[in-house]
């Protein structure tokens, strides 16, 4: 069956996976630092009950006193390397680095250390089945930990922050995950590979959206007689089948064939696979099968006491959400949606914003009336507002929901009319009756605004004051950026908005103008559709404030943006190369007296070497 399905694509999957995995690995390769296995490993210090990393060092210190172990503890001792790997692996799996920045850094340093260790044959050739599972599981968990760290906390989001540890961690984790997949395909762990290890590896790849690599890895295993049974386990199919369908590797009928071939002789079907098939069926429009899978899952939950009820409930919840977000029959989708917001369910469902986002898009696709879309949005806002949930998570959900809704709204009402204006006021009023108007909401409305009318735009801006909204620099940038799309604003009004933004930065104790503010000014002027009227004004503002960049690296980063933009570089480089450039703008740019903002760098001196070779 699988060789038949595969015959239309490649003559063999092993070369494909090796090419894809190795290709991805090389492109993501980290700096080639050698690994010193005698170097003191990362020390974890926290108040948790997890074993501290210092325990590993104490183990080796005591062991080194035993003459029988001296050879094992030498830098070339295979046993010492393997023992060290195992100790670090166990300890790292016990640590939760969330909400602890210091611990977070040490945690990922240790994962990098483990990744380098497993590349050594002294470790790789002797690891156990449990070692490989723990390593794959650690990588999978770490992807989630790193993403959560990036999306939460009180980090400075400005683009002028240079240290992007989460990005570096992502690169390292991708490399480690692909390296492990490479080793599995090459047969290195064939004797000890099992379904749990393969499953967590596929889940790690899924988090990074490595869909082609997942499919190639799976098909290579299916076509290997020695391990094919592992790749056809129901727990593996529950992970890979949705990917093969979404990536159009198999159509719906082929997925059904694979499912039926691997479940027909089993007394029960794994609940995760049931949920998976239900979700695929819904996406394919087979709502009857989707409902059958949901009913079977409910039966498993109610009658099978041996089942892990928490995991079954999660499968039920995900399948329920798929009916909301993937069902093109809006009546069916609404039935499942209403069950969630009304709390009329025997199981709990967290109404995830991406599923509502998909529901709104489906409404547009099937030409549902605007009031139906408004109903789903309003009900979701009310549902979220009634939830007792973490504020940062709620803000994220509101952001996704509102951005999706207003994107749809301005597509349905692309032009300002009496009807569209009244409907927008109605929407804002509805939101205000459910929860206080906040910066996230107004920023989202303004970001999606498409009407080329400055009067209504100014009315939207007035809502910050009307509703006493606490503002961050982001709102000023959003406004300035959007002005780039509205022709009716002249340079005097743009300068006024720029000055407002700088005044807020100064009041917020900024000593420099962040890259994000320079980008907003750029989008409002020289990069706007109205470049001819705004370019010289932009250059005049840049020349006036050029030394207010954060430091030399900020100047270089700013200049680098223009280097490959041949239509702009000649004009922008004038600020760097001409002693006293004169610009064809009658606007007078006067720098006010600031409390904190100041000149930090000699912009001309720093950027001249970058622009001079490009200037002809």
Q: Is pLDDT larger for residue 278 or for residue 100?
A: 278
Do residues 132 and 193 touch, judged by C-beta distance below 8 A? yes
CB 293 within 8 A of CB 277: yes
First to last CA, the chain: 64
Average pLDDT over residues 56-85: 54
- In degrees, rounded to 5, the angle at the alpha carbon of residue 284 between the alpha carbons of residues 283 and 289 is 95
CB 353 within 8 A of CB 396: yes
Structure tokens at 362: 């489906």
What's residue 104's pLDDT?
78
Mean pLDDT, to the nearest integer, of 36-48? 35
Identify the pLDDT of residue 390. Answer: 63
Residues 479 and 616 in one domain: yes
Q: Are 359 and 443 in the same domain?
A: yes
Domain assignment present for residue 99? The answer is no
Output 23 or 193, whichever has higher pLDDT. Answer: 193
Distant-in-sequence, close-in-space partners of 207: CB < 8 Å, separation ≥ 6: 140, 143, 144, 147
Contacting residues for 121 by C-beta, under 8 A, at least 6 apart: none
- pLDDT confidence bin for 34, thresholds 50/70/90: very low
Which tokens in the block code for residue 361? 């898009």
pLDDT at residue 467 is higher than 80 = yes
Say yes or no to pLDDT of 17 above 60. no
> Using CA atoms in the order 394, 396, 398, 399, what is the torsion angle rounded to 10 degrees?
160
Q: Classify residue 363: in a domain, yes or no.
A: yes
Per the structure, how many domains does the chain have? Answer: 3
Out of 63-77, 171-185, 236-250, 305-319, least confident range? 63-77
pLDDT for the residue 394? 75
In whole angstroms, give the CA distance from residue 461 to residue 500. 13
Q: pTM for this one?
A: 0.81
Q: What is the percent of the chain with per-residue pLDDT over 70, rounded to a whole number?
A: 82
Residues 375 and 431 in one domain: yes
Last residue of a domain, one of 294, 317, 350: 350
pLDDT digits 0-9 by tens, 147-167: 887 766 444 444 444 456 778
Which of the two residues, 38 and 537, has the higher pLDDT score?
537
The band of 73, judged by pLDDT with boundaries at 50, 70 and 90, is very low
Q: Cα(107)–Cα(559) distance, rounded to whole angstroms?
A: 36
User: Taking 50 as the threshold, does the pLDDT of residue 565 lie above it?
Assistant: yes
Domain boundary among 332, 350, 368: 350
Residue 113 lies in a domain: no
Question: Is pLDDT above 80 for 136?
Answer: yes
Q: What is the DSSP letter of 438?
A: -
Question: 367 by DSSP, 3-state: which?
Answer: coil
363 with 440, same domain: the answer is yes
- SS3 state at 177: helix
478 and 564: one domain?
Answer: yes
pLDDT of residue 99: 62
459 lies in the same domain as 543: no
388 phi, psi to nearest 5 deg = -100, 90
Read off the tokens for 377.
Answer: 């949005």
- Identify the domain boundary among 412, 447, 470: 470
Q: Are residues 367 and 494 in the same domain?
A: no
485 falls within a domain? yes
Closest CA to 601 of 559, 556, 548: 548
Query: Is 381 within the bounds of a domain?
Result: yes
Can you give the residue range of the structural domain that contains 419?
353-470
Nearest Cα to Cα of residue 513 among 550, 479, 557:
550
**Residues 358 and 342 grouped into a single domain:** no
Q: Is residue 466 part of a domain?
A: yes
Whether 236 is in a domain gets the answer no
**Same domain flag for 374 and 325:** no
Mean pLDDT over each residue of the chain, to the nearest integer? 86
pLDDT of 53: 41
**Looking at residue 10, what is its pLDDT?**
38
pLDDT of residue 391: 63
What's the pLDDT at 94? 84
- 364 and 462 inside one domain: yes
Q: What is the pLDDT of residue 272?
A: 96
Torsion of CA 273, 274, 280, 285, to 10 degrees: 170
Diameter of the chain by CA atoms? 90
Judge if 377 and 500 occupy the same domain.
no
Give me the residue label for tokens 């606490």. Answer: 470
Domain membership of residue 86 (yes or no) is no
List the Cα angle 314/316/320 in 5-degree steps: 115
**Do 484 and 562 reside in the same domain of the chain?**
yes
């Amino acid at each position: 069956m699988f060789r038949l399905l595969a015959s239309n694509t490649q003559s063999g999957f092993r070369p494909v996976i090796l090419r894809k995995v190795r290709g991805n690995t090389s492109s993501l390769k980290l700096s080639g630092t050698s690994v010193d296995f005698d170097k003191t490993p990362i020390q974890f210090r926290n108040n948790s009950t997890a074993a501290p990393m210092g325990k590993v060092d104490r183990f080796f210190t005591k062991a080194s006193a035993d003459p029988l172990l001296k050879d094992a503890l030498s830098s070339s001792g295979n046993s010492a390397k393997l023992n060290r790997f195992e100790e670090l692996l166990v300890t790292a799996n016990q640590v939760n680095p969330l909400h602890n920045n210091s611990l977070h850094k040490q945690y990922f340093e240790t994962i990098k250390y483990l990744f380098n260790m497993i590349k050594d044959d002294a470790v790789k050739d002797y690891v156990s089945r449990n070692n490989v599972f723990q390593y794959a599981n650690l990588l999978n968990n770490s992807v989630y930990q790193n993403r959560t760290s990036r999306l939460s906390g009180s980090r400075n989001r400005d683009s002028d922050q240079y240290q992007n540890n989460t990005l570096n961690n992502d690169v390292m984790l991708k490399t480690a995950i692909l390296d492990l997949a490479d080793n599995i395909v090459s047969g290195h762990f064939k004797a000890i590979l099992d379904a749990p290890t393969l499953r967590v590896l596929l889940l790690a790849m899924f988090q990074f959206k490595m869909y082609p690599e997942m499919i190639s890895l799976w098909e290579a295993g299916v076509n290997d007689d020695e391990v094919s049974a592992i790749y056809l386990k129901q727990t593996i199919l529950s992970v890979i089948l949705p990917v093969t369908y979404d990536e159009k590797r198999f159509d719906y009928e082929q997925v059904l064939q694979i499912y039926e071939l691997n479940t027909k002789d089993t007394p029960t079907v794994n609940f995760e696979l049931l949920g998976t098939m239900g979700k695929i069926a819904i996406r394919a429009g087979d709502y009857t099968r989707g409902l059958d899978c949901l009913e079977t899952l409910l039966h498993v939950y109610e009658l099978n006491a041996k089942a892990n009820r928490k995991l079954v409930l999660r499968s039920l919840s995900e399948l329920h959400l798929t009916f909301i977000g993937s069902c093109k029959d809006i009546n069916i989708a609404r039935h499942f949606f209403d069950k969630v917001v009304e709390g009329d369910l025997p199981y709990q469902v967290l109404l995830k914003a991406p599923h509502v986002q998909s529901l709104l898009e489906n409404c547009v696709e099937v030409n549902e009336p605007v009031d139906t879309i408004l109903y789903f949005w309003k009900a979701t806002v009310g549902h979220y507002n009634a939830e007792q949930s973490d504020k940062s998570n709620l803000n994220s959900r509101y952001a996704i929901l509102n951005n999706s809704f207003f994107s749809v709204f301005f597509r349905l009402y692309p032009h300002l009319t009496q009807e569209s204006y009244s409907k927008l006021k109605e929407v804002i009023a509805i939101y205000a009756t459910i929860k206080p108007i906040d910066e996230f909401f107004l920023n989202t409305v303004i970001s999606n605004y498409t009407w080329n009318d400055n009067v209504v735009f100014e009315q939207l801006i007035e809502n910050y004051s009307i509703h006493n909204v606490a503002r961050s620099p982001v709102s000023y940038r959003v406004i300035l950026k959007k002005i780039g799309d509205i022709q009716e604003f002249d340079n005097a009004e743009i300068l006024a908005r720029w000055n407002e933004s700088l005044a807020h930065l100064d009041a917020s104790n900024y000593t420099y103008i962040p890259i994000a503010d320079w980008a907003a000014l750029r989008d409002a002027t020289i990069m706007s559709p109205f470049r001819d009227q705004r370019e010289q004004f932009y250059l005049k503002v840049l020349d006036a404030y050029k030394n207010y960049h954060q430091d030399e690296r900020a100047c270089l980063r700013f200049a680098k943006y223009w280097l490959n933009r041949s239509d702009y570089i000649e004009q922008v480089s004038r600020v760097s190369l001409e002693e006293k450039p004169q610009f064809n703008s009658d606007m007078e740019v006067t720098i006010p007296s600031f409390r904190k903002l100041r000149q930090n760098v000699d912009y001309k001196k720093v950027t001249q070497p970058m622009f001079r070779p490009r200037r002809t």
